[in-house]
Structure 1
Amino acid sequence: MTIRNSAPYWVTALGLLLGCAAYGSETSYKLILTSEAGDHDSPLGHAMRLWEDLIEEKSNGRMQVEVFYQGELGGQQELFDQLIRGNVDMMITWPQTSYDERIGVNYIPYLVLDWEDAIAAFSPDGWVQELMAPIYEDIGLKYIGPFPEGFGGIATQNRYATSFEDAQGIKVRSQPVFPLPQTVNAMGFQAVPIDWAEVYTSLQTGVVDGDSSNVIYWDYEYFGDVLDYFVQSSHNFSSYSLLMSDRVWDEMDATDREIVTTAAREVIEKQFAEARAEDEHWIATAQEGGMEYIVPTTEEKAAWVERVRSEVWPLIEESLGTEIMDVVRENASVPGAKTSGASD
């Protein structure tokens, strides 16, 4: 049996064995799967365990997966760095744009405006996936597919805003990923890029007045004791990515790749079927728990869409290129089109 030794200095420090077959399906695997967010009982935690279970089941136990939850192996940028280097094998993550700003396709604001558009765009055979896969390949990652959550919003304490004017002076945490801080600024808020692990302390100490771009689950479940309002701005469609390091992917044969991707497709299909209901469940749960849920009027949302697209999309085009943005403009939802209810 041939065992691949992946970055022993890092693995030894963790006391883990990373191995993969050089000769395909005759060799055992020990793979690391992690994410920067989501504890054992979160929807993301459940998804990671499902991916683990399906891989082990489909390989008859020959492929073993070790799951690590938020914070157990490091912060958001650190984990993505380790994935690029091949020290982490798989992630379900909000990918960092530090290696290629074109990954920002995943974070283009007001790309879709309702669930129907989002499902069509982010489905495994959607136009967004067709754009993204080659970009990940260029930085050494296999893009297996999206993990949709829902539409992000702005969660705050003490006061809230549904317009550019009312947002002045409100500091909100933003994921340190282009173009999310720029989007939040264009909406009128003051964006403060902060890693996920530092958000709660930043809210407690007044570094920021709120959080942005997450679905309501994260803001209520993790910060519900310090946040009062959730505005369904829907400026971004929150979608993680299922990724695998090319370092392990390239050494797998067709049989083992099929095991990984078939298992992932089951996770993705399940999430697409359940994401909308899950988001609506947490909207109701947050309201029952005392968080006020605010949906901007059609006019307020249209004003945000117009301002953000006019200010941020040109910045995105400078980074992503005209060719990508031409595809985006051709496929993106049109302001004023129908919405799909509370979560859009």
Structure 2
Amino acid sequence: MPITRRLALGSALALPALWPSDRAFGQTTRVRIAGNFATEHSSSVAIEGFKKEVESLSGGRLAVDTFPAMQLGGAGENVSNVRQGTLLMTWVGMAFLSRTVPELEAISLPFQFASRAVAFKVVDGPIGELLDQRMADKGFLSLGYMELGFRHVTTGNKPIRTVDDLRGLKIRMQPNETHLATFRAIGANPVAMDIRELYSALQQGVVDGQENPYAIIRASRYFEVQKHLTNTGHFFDFISIVAHRRSFERLPGEFQQAIRTAMGNAIKAQRAAAEAGDSEALAELRARGMQYDPLPPAELARMRTLSAGVVDQIKGRLGAELIDRVQAEVTRAAA
């Protein structure tokens, strides 16, 4: 990293979550939100819309500085900085919060959601409220959930046409214990790794493959270092937007409301864009030269069978009551 960028990054991280800045007339409160998603990803685009709406709703008295594309560090660093209060907000793959708030794994089970509609019914209802409270207990304020999407496997040299093709492969995963346990159960060799390290790890052959939604594979340009793509769809994943709770609560009530209103609208816009762009992203990946091998239904069924025991593992860690409650809500949402 060049010295000038290092100094700029260090200065940015040293700032408090909230600080005033002079304007021609009076002062403006500035807040920062950082993420690891590429600038063109639907979540980053939605956050830019959020910034504009907050500044409009506040009459310019609340300004939002946005830092997409790992400008303030990787996903793990962003979560840590929000928890410490040196950064007000982050939008991040929910898995990066699960080490601090393990209850989030209750909506990270393999093949848990049949569709995005079911997933959002669950996370927007009582289960989401329960998880928001668990995050509050750890110092976070949840502002809602965007779509990360169904996750699919890519590999560098070996096409995945059966479950057996995954056996022994070193696959990069998010730092989520349920995700890791799932791939161990199907015979792969999962490795937890921050997203900022992934491209070079794929390029250098440190890992054989990775798993992400089509839009992330495209935005992060993994098609440059991966040849094969398979529609495993093993998890549906969320992007969580969280703030440092105490810093947020110190904001004037009108600023809090402006942030909540604008983020609610940003979430709606992002979900719609993510749904509309899913097939477009897949088509572009194929056009970019990735070989696409749809997994036969019988092989997907094998993946479900092999990973079914993960539910009992997570019950052992988080308690059967929580998992049973979530599963009941999933069944109700799918009806």
Q: Secondary structure at the match of 1:199?
A: helix
For 1:317, the equivalent position in structure 2 comes to 315
The alignment status of 1:133 with 2:129, answered yes or no, reads no
Q: Is the 8 A contact 1:133 1:143 kept in 2?
A: yes
CA gap of 1:202–1:277, structure 2 versus 1, over 3 A, is same
**How do residues 220-231 of structure 1 correspond to structure 2 at under 5 angstroms?**
220-221=218-219, 222-231=221-230
Query: Which segments of 5 or more consecutive residues in structure 2 lack a partner in the other structure?
Result: 1-8, 21-25
Provide the identity percentage. 24
CA gap of 1:148–1:14, structure 2 versus 1, over 3 A, is closer
Counterpart Cα distance in 1 of 2:200 and 2:144:
32
CA gap of 1:120–1:13, structure 2 versus 1, over 3 A, is closer
**How do residues 289-308 of structure 1 correspond to structure 2 at under 5 angstroms?**
289-308=288-307
Which is worse superposed, 58-67 or 74-83?
74-83
TM-score for the superposition, normalised by structure 1: 0.85
Q: CA RMSD in A?
A: 2.4
CA gap of 1:215–1:15, structure 2 versus 1, over 3 A, is same
For 1:235, the equivalent position in structure 2 comes to 234
The alignment status of 1:78 with 2:77, answered yes or no, reads yes
Counterpart Cα distance in 2 of 1:210 and 1:64:
40
* 1:41 CA drift (Å): 2.6
Q: Is the 8 A contact 1:55 1:63 kept in 2?
A: yes
* 1:179 CA drift (Å): 1.7
Which is worse superposed, 43-52 or 325-334?
325-334
* 1:15 CA drift (Å): 7.0
* 1:195 CA drift (Å): 1.1
Judging by fraction of residues, say which structure has more helix: 2
Q: Is the 8 A contact 2:81 2:87 kept in 1?
A: yes
Counterpart Cα distance in 2 of 1:111 and 1:316:
13
**How do residues 51-90 of structure 1 correspond to structure 2 at under 5 angstroms?**
51-90=50-89
Counterpart Cα distance in 2 of 1:101 and 1:291:
35
For 1:32, the equivalent position in structure 2 comes to 32
Q: Is the 8 A contact 1:39 1:45 kept in 2?
A: yes
Q: Is the 8 A contact 1:106 1:239 kept in 2?
A: no
Counterpart Cα distance in 1 of 2:289 and 2:331:
33
TM-score for the superposition, normalised by structure 2: 0.87
Counterpart Cα distance in 1 of 2:101 and 2:289:
41
Which is worse superposed, 113-122 or 200-209?
113-122
Q: Secondary structure at the match of 1:33?
A: strand
Counterpart Cα distance in 1 of 2:277 and 2:12:
38
Corresponding letter in the other structure for 1:244? A
For 1:329, the equivalent position in structure 2 comes to 327
For 1:7, the equivalent position in structure 2 comes to none
* 1:305 CA drift (Å): 1.6
Counterpart Cα distance in 2 of 1:17 and 1:315:
40
Counterpart Cα distance in 2 of 1:220 and 1:74:
21
* 1:287 CA drift (Å): 1.3
Corresponding letter in the other structure for 2:110? P
Q: Secondary structure at the match of 1:176?
A: coil
Corresponding letter in the other structure for 1:38? F
* 1:224 CA drift (Å): 0.7
**How do residues 166-177 of structure 1 correspond to structure 2 at under 5 angstroms?**
166-177=165-176
Counterpart Cα distance in 2 of 1:27 and 1:126:
39
CA gap of 1:252–1:111, structure 2 versus 1, over 3 A, is same
Q: Secondary structure at the match of 2:164?
A: coil
CA gap of 1:200–1:12, structure 2 versus 1, over 3 A, is closer
Counterpart Cα distance in 2 of 1:285 and 1:194:
26
CA gap of 1:114–1:333, structure 2 versus 1, over 3 A, is farther
